[in-house]
Chains A and B, each alone.
Chain A
Amino acid sequence: MSETQMTGAEMIVKALADQGVEFVFGYPGGAVLPIYDALFKTNSVRHILVRHEQGAVHSAEGYARSTGKVGVVLVTSGPGATNAVTGLTDALMDSIPIVCLTGQVATHLIGNDAFQEADTTGITRPCTKHNYLVKDVNQLARTIHEAFYVARTGRPGPVVVDLPKDIQLSLGTYAGPEKVSHRTYAPRMQGDTRAIEQAVELLANAKKPIFYSGGGVINSGDKASELLTKFVRMTGYPITNTLMGLGAYPASDKQFLGMLGMHGTYEANLAMHQCDVMLCVGARFDDRVTGRLDAFSPNSKKIHIDIDPSSVNKNVAVDVPIIGDVATVLEAMIDVWQKRSYKADPAALKQWWGQIGEWRARDCLAFRQEGAIIKPQYALQRLYELTKGQDTFITTEVGQHQMWAAQFMKFEKPNRWMTSGGLGTMGYGLPAAIGVQLAHPGKLVVDVAGEASILMNIQELSTAVQHRLPVKVFILNNQYMGMVRQWQELLHGGRYSESYTAALPDFVKLAEAFHAVGLRATKPEEMDDVIKEMMAVDRPVVVDVAVDQKENCYPMIPSGRAHYEMILADGDAQKQPTITDAGLALV
Chain B
Amino acid sequence: MAIATDQIARSHTIAILVDNEAGVLARVIGLFSGRGYNIESLTVAEVDAGRRVSRITVVTSGTPMIIEQIKAQLSRLVPVHRVSDLTVEGPRVERELALVKVAGKGETRVESLRIADIFRARVVDSTNTSFVFELTGSAEKLNAFIDLMRPLGLVDVSRTGIVAISRGPNPL
Residues of A within 8 A of B (CB): 121-122, 125-126, 129-130, 133, 150, 182-185, 308-310, 312-314, 317-321
Contacts and interface: CB of A to CB of B under 8 A. Distances in A.
Nearest to A125: B30
Interface string B65-109: 100110011011111110000000000000000000000000000
23 contacts: A121-B23, A122-B26, A125-B23, A125-B30, A126-B30, A129-B78, A133-B22, A133-B23, A150-B78, A182-B78, A183-B19, A183-B81, A184-B19, A184-B78, A309-B72, A310-B76, A312-B72, A313-B3, A314-B69, A317-B2, A317-B5, A318-B2, A319-B2
B34 A126 contact: yes
A129 B76 CA distance: 9
Interface residues of B, number: 23
B27 interface: yes
A348 B144 CA distance: 64
Contacts of B73: 310
Contacts of B30: 125-126
Contacts of A129: 78
Contacts of B34: 126
Contact of A125 (B2, B5, B27, B68): B27
A126 B29 CA distance: 11
B68 A313 contact: yes
Nearest to A159: B78
A310 B23 contact: no
A2 B145 CA distance: 67
A522 B32 CA distance: 52
A148 to B, nearest CB: 13
Contacts of B22: 133
Contacts of B72: 308-310, 312
B4 to A, nearest CB: 9
B65 A313 contact: yes
Interface string B12-51: 0000000100110011001000100000000000000000
B26 A184 contact: no
Contacts of A308: 72, 76
B76 A309 contact: yes
A553 to B, nearest CB: 31
Most B Cβ at <10 Å: residue of A133, A314, A320: A314
Contacts of B81: 183-184
Most B Cβ at <10 Å: residue of A133, A310, A314, A317: A310
A100 B160 CA distance: 39
A380 to B, nearest CB: 37
The 4 A-B pairs of least Cβ separation, nearest first, read A310-B72, A130-B78, A309-B72, A184-B81
A351 B29 CA distance: 52
Contacts of B65: 313-314, 317
A440 to B, nearest CB: 32
A309 B2 contact: no
Nearest to B75: A309
